[in-house]
Amino acid sequence: MMLAITFDADHPAARGHFPGNPIIPGAVLLSEALRVAGTAMALDVSRCTVSSAKFPSPARPGDRVEIDCSASRAGISLVCSVAGRTVLKAEVACSAKATRD
């Protein structure tokens, strides 16, 4: 499933992270990508555990992040990219409990 999020150019998490070269912190990128994916797949992600997460390239304020996500019995796989450049690869273990019928 392909989804997308855009971080505002003045996103508060980027303030001071890093002055003159702002990036979206990895924890914020992962959290937002997981929230969007969980909502789209009707999965409860409130008790998920990150099995692995790699941030090969930074996401920056103003970026449109494309999220390629898939669900399995174990959880959610995420690959996020900006203009074809991978910014996050993650495996997240969570229950398959639906958030809505």
CB-based contact 15:7 (threshold 8 Å): no
Please identify every residue annotated as catalytic: 17
Phi, psi angles (nearest 5°) of residue 4: -155, 150
CB-based contact 26:78 (threshold 8 Å): no
